[in-house]
Structure 1
Amino acid sequence: MIRPGVKPVFHSLKPKDVIGVAAPSSRFDEQQFQKGVLCLESMGFEVHIPKGITGQHRYLAGTDRQRADVLNMLFADSEIKGIIAARGGFGAMRLLPFLDWDTIAANPKLFIGFSDPTALISSLVCKAGICALHGPNVVSLGQAGKQTLDSFAKTVTGCFTCVDLPSDQVIAGGIATGPLVGGNLATLVHMIGTAYQPDFADRILFLEDVGEPAYKIDRMLTQMKMAGVLDGVKGVVTGSFKDCDNDVYIPQILQEAFLGENIPVCMGLEAGHGTVNISLPLGVRVTLDADRACLEWDVIP
């Protein structure tokens, strides 16, 4: 699926570019959705809303084939410069076998989303060699605060260099460089053993989650470790673990999960399901400097 010899490129957007909306996961609230669309338009983008994204199939925004067809169409359309997920929930991983990966690889463009769309982001980055943006979905944009919106507006246009991390949340020191990958922990774990199992070797791993008690985070990281998915990881940085019971245990869980690996491990990145959700270019080379408590992207020409 990865095009040999092709270096992943972050396809930044510019004002008046057309962003297409896909609904790869759950059904969404149309009022919140419209607020998000207005937000994108206020940033100077044109928004294309395909027919059929308001479909209903149980808790999903249409059948798997319907949702996949929209994504295939958006990637194939040369007028569409970026694609953003309507919301998270569940369902994105069900689409993976129905996607036209040859067309997607031949028409790389920026995909934006977080939470359940991690399944798409991980596959685009790890399997198709296409950079993506871990950032707000349309629905979450409609209720986002200034810090989240400012980060989104700057990052989609390719303006990103460094993010400071809380120095008191450094689990293990050191410096590591590699492409940033990852996303929602629970979604990544459910991809283990599939044809779309993520590859984190020689990469910096980003993780976040919501509503998972500490023991489940422990269990998921243990499964990843025992499955060999964490082999070769060069560094780890975590975002928010919102509404996670016994979250005071998470630093110790992370310390144990990566004990003896001699890699930098940091917490406290304001990305994920928390009040602030800064945008993170994934697939792009970064330096995680735990000694200076910062995450810095290579400058994009």
Structure 2
Amino acid sequence: MTQIIPPFLQPGDEVAILSPASFPPTDNWKQGVEVLENWGLRVRNAPNYLSRHHGLGGTDAERLSDLQQMLDDPSIKAIFPIRGGYGVSRLLDSLDFSGFVSSPKWIVGFSDITALLCELDSIGYASVHGPMPHNFCQKGGESALQNLHSLLFEGNVSVTAPAHALNRLGEASAEIIGGNLSLLCHLVGSSTFASTEGKILFIEEIGERLYHVDRMLLQLKRAGYFQNLAGLILGGFTDCNEASLTIGKSAYELVAEHTSGTSFPIAFDFPAGHIPNNQPVLFGVKSKLLVNSQKVQLTVI
């Protein structure tokens, strides 16, 4: 299925910020709004964008209302969740995408926003796995932010990363899907994340014990998600450490183990995920993955 690409942004476009998952713990998101305004965009705050309900950015009803309103509004050209956290998957079954289909727009995010990006992919629309306003301005993220601008306004980006000892060499040209490993496992068995066949799968994680990582990789493997990939990209596995129950391998070594016997190219330690240099990855649009002995290069075709 060929994915529909929303119109690229232009100065003067109106975009929305909201909190469909957790609320922002600091005011860092205000710098993110300044970045969007410096790009020439007009920023609209969703009505409940700073609401709090326990650890979430408002009640389910408030978060759903904000997201639905911005999906429906044809004047909104992009939606920027302020941050991830938890809560997006609680909204998926209540969302109506008919207004979005009439006026497609970019949705940009990562972490818990993986659930929304996968839902968009399942209904045939491109989206961007990339930095969100709360972490736009962290030190080390300058290149990622510049590339996000290029992607959203011009439709092109190419990211180069150093070679890694575990890389499997090769080339692949295919659409990309994926995101946070915990979220992907959470979505297995649902229409939101039904298949990876013929696609490049991207995976990243943060804060999981290594035996949890092993368990989740095994789940994807046993469910067939590694069988017919065009390629595999591993982003940051940040703060994934041994626990009292040790596994004896690093996260990347576990990936290498569970993908043995396959032949697609694999790129380890790609600069994306819960890291400062969180490079944007375009989901649902054919990209070229090149893995050779000198480098890894990911380019939107």
TM-score, length-scaled by structure 2: 0.91
- Residues 75/267 of structure 1: CA separation in 2 closer, same or farther (3 Å cut): same
Tell me which amino acid in the other structure corresponds to 1:297. V
Tell me which amino acid in the other structure corresponds to 1:268. D
User: Which whole-Å CA distance do the structure 2 matches of 1:6 and 1:168 have between them?
Assistant: 32
Indicate whether 1:83 and 2:86 are aligned.
no
- Conserved in 1, the CA contact under 8 Å of 2:3 and 2:285? no
Aligned to 1:231: 227
- Conserved in 2, the CA contact under 8 Å of 1:166 and 1:267? no
Percent sequence identity over aligned pairs: 31
Per the TM alignment, residue 179 of structure 1 is displaced from its structure 2 partner at its CA by: 0.2
Aligned to 1:113: 109
Indicate whether 1:175 and 2:176 are aligned.
no
User: Which whole-Å CA distance do the structure 2 matches of 1:238 and 1:8 have between them?
Assistant: 25
Output one character per residue of 1:198-237: Cα deviation in whole Å (capped at 9) or x when no partner.
Answer: 4211100111111123222221110111122333221101
Aligned to 1:137: 132
More displaced stretch, 229-238 vs 159-168: 159-168
User: Which whole-Å CA distance do the structure 2 matches of 1:169 and 1:189 have between them?
Assistant: 27
Aligned to 2:13: 17
Consecutive unaligned residues in structure 1, runs of 5 or more:
none
- Residues 7/118 of structure 1: CA separation in 2 closer, same or farther (3 Å cut): closer
User: Which whole-Å CA distance do the structure 1 matches of 2:31 and 2:161 have between them?
Assistant: 31
Aligned to 1:250: 251
Aligned to 1:280: 281
- Residues 136/293 of structure 1: CA separation in 2 closer, same or farther (3 Å cut): closer
Tell me which amino acid in the other structure corresponds to 2:296. A
Q: Quick one: which of 88, 95, 103 aligns to 1:92?
A: 88
- Conserved in 2, the CA contact under 8 Å of 1:180 and 1:281? yes
User: Which whole-Å CA distance do the structure 2 matches of 1:177 and 1:150 have between them?
Assistant: 24
Per the TM alignment, residue 10 of structure 1 is displaced from its structure 2 partner at its CA by: 4.7
- Conserved in 1, the CA contact under 8 Å of 2:150 and 2:157? no
Q: Secondary structure at the match of 2:67?
A: helix
Residues 157-176 of structure 1: matches in 2 within 5 Å?
A: 157-176=153-172
Moved over 4 A (4+): none
Q: Secondary structure at the match of 1:289?
A: strand
Q: Secondary structure at the match of 1:168?
A: coil
Tell me which amino acid in the other structure corresponds to 2:265. P
TM-score, length-scaled by structure 1: 0.91
Q: Secondary structure at the match of 2:193?
A: coil
Alignment length (residue pairs): 293
